[in-house]
Amino acid sequence: MTIDTSAAPSELRHPGSPAARFGSLDWNWLGVVPFLAFAFLFLIGPVLYLVAGAFQNAEGQFTFANIVALGSPNIVASFSLTIRLSLLSAFMGALAGLLLGQAVILGGLPVWVRGAFTTFSGVASNFAGVPLAFAFIATLGRLGLVTVLLKDLFGINLYASGFNLFSFLGVSLVYLYFQLPLMFLIIAPALDGLRAEWREAAEILGATRRQYWRMVGLPVLLPTILGCFLLLFANAFGTLATVYALMGSGFDVVPIVLFQQIRGNVLYNPNLGYALALGMVVIMGVSNTAYLILRNRAERWQK
Amino acid sequence: MKQRFPLVPLLTALFAASFFIVPLIATFYFSLKMTRGELGFAAYASVFRSADFLQTISYSTIASLVAIAVGAVIIVPTAYWVRLKVPKLRPVVEFISLLPLIVPPVVLVFGYIRLFGSNSWLPLTASTSGTDVLLVIGYVVLSMPYMFRAVDNGMAAIDISTLTEAAESLGASRLRTIALVIFPNVRAAIISGAFLTFSISLGEFVLASLLNRPAFGPYLVQLGQDRAYEPAALAIMSFAFTWGCMALMQLFATRKPGQRWLPRAAQRITP
């Protein structure tokens, strides 16, 4: 961490600068106005417009009808599908990332292994979207290389045995390709923060490896793991391009429903679209905020 | 603890590595099989011969580059000003810059279409050039969290108040200070943020598709529906491209002005 010493002393050192003479607070505040104006116009404004629209009917009068309409069966089904998919993919990502982190960072493997995984994870966590879907279709699609190899070499017919890339499980497997590296990257500092002294102390007191993890390691890591889980959840919840390229427009996760609604008003109610957008922002906002709170809590142990 | 042979960690690492690598190998191999009975780069040749590919990739490249420039012009002065003069506003600016992580792109573009629609007060979507502007602005917003963090880290590494004082005592105006002193000093940070922005916006699908612009992302989706081998070739190229962007980003992020190619660990010792 670099300590920020730049701001305050500069103000003290030259009180006669132009900034101070004009009545320092007002003048200085103006310097941030272009950024705030841009953010308000192109980030906050559009979202507020949708939020306001979610509480209006077609004539512009205030109503809760759109929020109530979120309870209609097809929308509930769509939210439920998205939440289940995000939960499963976040769970898989968090578990696999934790195991990989534990193995690579604490498992006594050579240092270069960790370096290689870190570098690769930086790339893979950003390798989402349409190309990722293509890669998995070429690998595990009906004519994908692994599918064909398994059939030709080992006589295992993946698709006959119930596997399908273009399914709920298939999508979460594809998501794992960016969730696992993301988890690995964000859990690594916490694993580094597990002090060797704690483990030694536990061993001297006669704890087994399992007892150490159950009573020291995991409780210390728990806020971090939960926080990362929520971040992965939000990450999966907002994913559109990957799942759209894989499943097409018929797979009713919330982002795709909203996408279709913007394209062609498939819900036959523009204001219901606003409510859907509001629902997405609320879920993303809650999970991201909880992530930040848990991260602050976890940092207690890392000082 | 007794030093055992790390069998379980080794197996875990191997399993994870194969999960990462097998799809890449499979996709690469698949992309070579376009010509029946032999392996070759026919799919890649087919991609590069396509006029649509060249058009969409140039359109997206230009849009991404403009977004990077606009983003730098908005974020560098703001980050500088907040650090130097109004540290009180820092949490506000930081929070706003992180908002795009909470607002999904599909929601953002939905707001754009409604707020800047053809019969609104600022009808950007009514004209082609207006929609182009909106797409670029959208990319600026999407990249704001990464750009702000990169630039802010860059500013933390240099002593901006001393640099500002030096520039001022030599008679430079505020604008001149930012353009000729601060900008060059955080250039590496900007470039590092720029590569991340580039890798995000080049293949971006949602904004481009809903704003109906001829960008690379929508072209990719269309190609995925029409062809078998070209998408695999593009996936491989796009992975290589992402890898290149990340490598360059790392390179520039760890590099500080004056101390050209020194590794970061060596500089961390003094806080």
Q: How confident is the model at residue A301 (pLDDT cuts 50, 70, 90)?
A: low
Task: For residue B26, give the nearest of A49, A104, A145 by CB distance.
Answer: A145
For residue B1, the model assigns a pLDDT of 47
Q: At A118, list the tokens.
A: 């870190």
pLDDT for the residue numbered B10: 92
With an 8 Å Cβ cutoff, are A139 and B26 in contact?
Answer: yes
Confidence of residue B257 (pLDDT cuts 50, 70, 90): low
Contact A144 B26 (CB under 8 A): yes
Count other Cβ atoms within 10 Å, centred on residue A238: 24
Q: How many C-beta atoms surround the C-beta of residue A21 within 10 A?
A: 10
Q: Cα angle vertex A179, ends A177, A181, to 5°?
A: 75
Contact A4 B108 (CB under 8 A): no
Residue A138: pLDDT over 60? yes
pLDDT digits (tens, 9 = 90+) for A68-122: 989 999 999 999 999 999 999 999 999 999 999 999 998 888 889 998 999 889 8
Query: Please, which pLDDT band fits residue B261 given cuts at 50, 70 and 90?
Result: low
Q: Where are the alpha helices (DSSP H) in B32-127?
A: 42-49, 51-84, 90-98, 105-115
Angle at B78 between CA B163 and CA A299, to 5 degrees: 90
Please tell me the predicted confidence (pLDDT) of residue A6. Answer: 43
Per-residue pLDDT at A204: 92
Contact present, A242 and A132 (Cβ < 8 Å)? yes
* Closest Cβ–Cβ partner in B115, B159, B234 for A134: B234
**Chain A residues touching residue B13 (CB < 8 angstroms):** 100, 103-104, 107, 109, 113, 117
Predicted confidence at residue A270, as pLDDT, reads 82
**B45-82: per-residue pLDDT in tens?**
999 999 999 999 999 999 999 999 999 999 999 999 99
> Tell me, what's the pLDDT at A240?
93
% of residues, chain B, pLDDT over 90: 50
Q: Answer yes or no: is pLDDT of A1 > 50.
A: no
- To which residue do tokens 């996936």 refer? B235
- The answer on pLDDT for A12 being more than 50 is no
Return the closest-CA partner of residue A70 out of A286, A249, A261: A261
Q: What is the tens place of the pLDDT at every residue in B28-37?
A: 999 998 888 8
Higher pLDDT, B3 or A172: A172
Give the SS3 label for residue B259. Answer: strand
Nearest to A46 among B86, B115, B155 (CB): B115
B254 CB near a chain A CB, below 8 Å?
A: no
How sure is the predictor about A59, in pLDDT bands with cuts at 50, 70 and 90? confident
pLDDT value of position B258: 57
Mean of pLDDT values over A55-62: 87
pLDDT at B199: 87
How many helices and strands in chain B, by DSSP H and E? Answer: 14, 0
Residue A20 has pLDDT above 70, yes or no: no
Q: What is the pLDDT of residue B256?
A: 60
Confidence of residue B119 (pLDDT cuts 50, 70, 90): confident
pLDDT at B263: 52
Radius of gyration of chain A (CA): 25
Q: How confident is the model at residue B259 (pLDDT cuts 50, 70, 90)?
A: low
Tell me: pLDDT of B125 over 60. Answer: yes
Instruction: Give chain A's domains with CATH numbers.
Output: 73-302 (1.10.3720.10)
Average pLDDT of chain A to the nearest whole number: 86
- pLDDT band at A303, cuts 50/70/90? low
Q: What is the pLDDT of residues B164-188, one digit of tens each?
A: 999 999 988 888 888 888 888 888 8
Which tens digits make up the pLDDT trace of B187-208?
888 888 898 888 889 889 999 9
User: Are the Cβ atoms of A127 and B242 closer than 8 angstroms?
Assistant: yes
* Residue A156 confidence class, pLDDT cut points 50, 70, 90: confident
Mean pLDDT of the region B120-135: 89
Cross-chain CB nearest to A284 (options B25, B102, B243): B102
> Tens of pLDDT along B12-47?
999 999 999 999 999 999 999 888 888 889 999 999
Look over chain B and give the mean of its residue pLDDT values, rounded to a whole number: 87
Element of type H or E holding B193: helix B187-201
Q: Is A146 on the interface with B (CB under 8 A)?
A: yes
* Contact assignment for B81 to A241 by CB distance below 8 Å: no
Q: Reduce the secondary structure of chain A to three states and give it as a string.
A: CCCCCCHHHHHHHCCCCHHHHCCHHHHHHHCCHHHHHHHHHHHHHHHHHHHHHHCECCCCCECCHHHHHCCCHHHHHHHHHHHHHHHHHHHHHHHHHHHHHHHHHHCCCCHHHHHHHHHHHHHHCCCCCHHHHHHHHHHHCCCCHHHHHHHHHHCCCCCCCCCCCCCHHHHHHHHHHHHHHHHHHHHHHHHHCCCHHHHHHHHHCCCCHHHHHHHHHHHHHHHHHHHHHHHHHHHHHCCCHHHHHHHHHHCCCHHHHHHHHHHHCCCCCHHHHHHHHHHHHHHHHHHHHHHHHHHHHHHHHHC
- A255-294 per-position pLDDT tens digit: 999 999 998 877 778 888 999 999 999 999 999 999 988 8
Look at residue A3 and tell me whether its pLDDT is greater than 50: no
Contact A17 B168 (CB under 8 A): yes
- Report the pLDDT averaged over residues A176-180: 95
SS3 state at B169: helix
Q: Which of B205, B64, B61, B19 is nearest to A124 (CA)?
A: B19
Task: Out of A57-61, A101-105, A188-192, B95-99, pick the least confident.
Answer: A57-61
Q: Which of A42, A56, A252 to mutate to test the interface with B (most CBs of B within 10 A)?
A: A42
Q: List the domains of chain B with CATH numbers.
A: 52-268 (1.10.3720.10)
Question: Shortest Cα distance from A7 to chain B (angstroms)?
Answer: 4
